[in-house]
């Protein structure tokens, strides 16, 4: 593939973009690109940060001779991330005289009023239509969580989803699947993407070794995978990102390996795949991921990205710490591992070296006498930032005495932090409400949280203490 170009399927043909000749920046988002085209104005810009879903598009990939369709927020996806994929917008579904079954269901249920949010809803429902043969209400809610509508109150949109739930799932895309798969094969390119314009360098290596070589040459390069955080630097802060290494096409980073004692998740694994896999093996992790963003966000956000962010209100660090997760790093000196509690060294800082990336997260399998729970308190249930979160682990002996206990909190300090005084007090004591209430008083004095738009410091203190009581009620 020539340097400075990408190829993807668009409007039933292979589309090639040359970033030098076109003048497009490699950090142009898919939303910005679509809005620049004369006949693709259906994709709307609302929040430009992945909250409203008005810009939802479907991106399809060929997997095992089948095509997988998923909805994404196009405001968070840089154009090079489309390499080798298919971009589908609301204009591609149908016409006024030949509506797609999803569009017809929305019309028949009066699911659109002002219409601004409608294209995004259509694309999320289209992904649901293509992905599921048996659709239940929980799936409908999950697929629509990332789309905001202030007109209809969702009820007629949910009604539309129920109509497509019993449809035969045939459409123009299923009719053209063979031809589309042929286009995917035509784009099967082993070479990495290299884009070098007058102001930006955007690299997309396909191996760990290539990444390390590139990072050694450019230690200042910004590392991205899903770019759900980095994307906001472009859309909100208007920053010019001059040097990016995008690791989203390295296959080793998306693997899941299971042994007798542990499961190793590739750091590039998207959070939705992690959520699906963890349901049976790590239920506390599954519970946290179920209230992590929306499906559109989880499909592009990655495990390694959330850990590397090292935010004190990040959703995954507390529960990963409770599970005794370790971080596997890859760099020029090979691999090294360390506990996640040691990997995160301070407020948004980690032990990651300039030439390294997070290769995997390793989680030991649960033992039969240990209980794990995760909790998230936020202003709304779905698609919200944590105010206070918790990842807790408890092991009791035959006498109902605490043998092992950790209480990792997010939102209570500059980093995810264990309630050391409370755990020290409880270990060796019987797991009773009286002892737990005494430990709650210790929690109230152990942390010094801040006040912000999400909660006051006093409110956070009460929440943290009450989460311990909830943990007790959930484990007795």
Question: What's 91's DSSP letter?
Answer: G
Q: How far apart are CA 407 and CA 420, in angstroms?
A: 8
Give Cα separations from 55 to 31, 169, 219, 297 (angstroms).
7, 24, 34, 13
**pLDDT score at 50:** 95
Helix (H, G, I), strand (E, B) or coil at 400: coil
Examine the domain organization and report whether 279 and 419 are in the same domain: yes
Among 186, 210, 237, which residue terminates a domain? 186
For residue 257, tell me if it sits in a domain. Answer: yes
Helix 137-144 crosses helix 118-131 at what angle (to 10 degrees)? 140
Examine the domain organization and report whether 181 and 265 are in the same domain: no
Among 186, 220, 238, which residue terminates a domain? 186
Total domains present in the chain: 2
**pLDDT score at 190:** 61
- List phi, psi (to 5°) of 402: -75, 120
**pLDDT score at 367:** 85
| Owning domain of residue 62 | 5-100+171-186
For residue 24, tell me if it sits in a domain. Answer: yes
Examine the domain organization and report whether 436 and 293 are in the same domain: yes
For residue 125, tell me if it sits in a domain. Answer: no
**pLDDT score at 188:** 78
Examine the domain organization and report whether 177 and 270 are in the same domain: no
For residue 22, tell me if it sits in a domain. Answer: yes
Q: How far apart are CA 233 and CA 335, in angstroms?
A: 30
Query: Using one digit for the tens of pLDDT, what is the confidence trace for 165-184?
Result: 988 889 999 999 999 999 99
For residue 341, tell me if it sits in a domain. Answer: yes
Examine the domain organization and report whether 180 and 292 are in the same domain: no
For residue 120, tell me if it sits in a domain. Answer: no
Collect all residues with Cβ–Cβ distance below 8 Å to 220 and sequence separation of at least 6. Answer: 243
Examine the domain organization and report whether 298 and 178 are in the same domain: no
- On whether the CB atoms of residues 310 and 281 are closer than 8 A, the answer is no
Examine the domain organization and report whether 302 and 381 are in the same domain: yes
Q: How far apart are CA 169 and CA 131, in angstroms?
A: 9
Helix (H, G, I), strand (E, B) or coil at 1: coil
Domain of 425, CATH number, reads 3.30.465.10
For residue 232, tell me if it sits in a domain. Answer: no
- List phi, psi (to 5°) of 185: -65, -35
Examine the domain organization and report whether 342 and 436 are in the same domain: yes
Radius of gyration of the chain (CA): 24
Examine the domain organization and report whether 303 and 431 are in the same domain: yes
Examine the domain organization and report whether 175 and 270 are in the same domain: no
Query: Nearest Cα to 301, choosing from 203, 229, 222, 204?
Result: 229
Domain of 16, CATH number, reads 3.10.20.30
Question: What's the token pair of residue 59?
Answer: 């991106």
| Order of strands, sheet of 5-10, starting from the edge strand that comes earlier in the sequence | 13-18, 5-10, 86-88, 56-63, 66-73
- In which residue ranges of the chain is pLDDT below 50? none
CB atoms within 10 A of CB 372: 19
For residue 340, tell me if it sits in a domain. Answer: yes
Examine the domain organization and report whether 455 and 337 are in the same domain: yes
Examine the domain organization and report whether 322 and 471 are in the same domain: yes
Query: Using one digit for the tens of pLDDT, what is the confidence trace for 395-415?
Result: 999 999 999 999 999 999 999
pTM here is 0.95
């Amino acid at each position: 593939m020539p340097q400075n170009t990408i190829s993807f399927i668009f409007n039933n043909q292979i589309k090639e973009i040359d970033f030098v000749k076109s003048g497009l920046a490699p950090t142009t988002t898919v939303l910005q690109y679509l809005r620049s085209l004369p006949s693709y104005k259906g994709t709307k810009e609302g929040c430009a940060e992945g909250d409203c879903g008005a810009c939802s598009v479907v991106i399809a990939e060929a997997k095992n001779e089948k095509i997988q369709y998923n909805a994404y927020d196009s405001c968070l996806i840089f154009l090079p991330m489309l390499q080798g994929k298919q971009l589908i917008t609301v204009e591609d579904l149908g016409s006024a005289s030949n509506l797609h079954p999803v569009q017809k269901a929305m019309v028949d249920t009066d699911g659109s009023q002002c219409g601004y949010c409608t294209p995004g809803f259509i694309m999320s429902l289209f992904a649901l239509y293509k992905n599921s043969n048996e659709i239940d209400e929980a799936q409908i809610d999950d697929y629509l969580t990332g789309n905001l509508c202030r007109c209809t109150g969702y009820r007629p949109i949910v009604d539309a989803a129920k109509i497509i739930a019993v449809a035969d799932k045939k459409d123009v895309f299923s009719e053209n699947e063979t031809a589309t798969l042929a286009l995917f094969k035509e784009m099967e390119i082993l070479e990495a993407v290299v884009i070098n314009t007058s102001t930006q360098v955007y690299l997309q290596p396909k191996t760990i070794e290539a990444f390390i070589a590139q990072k050694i040459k450019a230690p200042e390069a910004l590392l991205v995978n899903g770019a759900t955080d980095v994307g906001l630097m472009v859309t909100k802060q208007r920053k010019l990102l001059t040097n990016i290494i995008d690791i989203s096409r390295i296959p080793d980073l998306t693997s899941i390996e299971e042994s007798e004692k542990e499961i190793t998740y590739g750091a590039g694994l998207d959070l939705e795949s992690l959520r699906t896999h963890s349901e049976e093996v790590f239920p506390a992790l599954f519970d946290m991921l179920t209230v992590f963003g929306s499906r559109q966000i989880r499909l592009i956000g990655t495990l390694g990205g959330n850990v590397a962010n090292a935010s004190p209100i990040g959703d995954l660090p507390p529960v990963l710490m409770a599970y005794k997760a370790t971080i596997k790093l890859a760099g020029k000196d090979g691999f090294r591992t360390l506990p996640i509690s040691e990997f995160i060294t301070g407020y948004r800082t980690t032990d990651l070296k300039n030439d390294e990336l997070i290769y995997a997260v390793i989680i030991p399998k649960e033992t039969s006498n240990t209980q794990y729970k995760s909790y998230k308190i936020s202003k709304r249930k779905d698609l919200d930032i944590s105010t206070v979160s918790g990842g807790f682990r408890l092991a009791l002996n035959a006498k109902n005495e605490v043998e092992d206990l950790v209480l990792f909190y997010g939102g209570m300090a500059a980093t995810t932090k264990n309630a050391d005084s409370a755990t020290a007090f409880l270990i060796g004591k019987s797991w009773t409400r009286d002892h737990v209430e005494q430990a709650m008083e210790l929690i109230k004095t152990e942390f010094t949280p801040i006040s912000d738009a999400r909660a006051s410091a006093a409110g956070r203190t009460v929440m943290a203490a009450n989460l311990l009581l909830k943990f007790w009620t959930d484990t007795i």
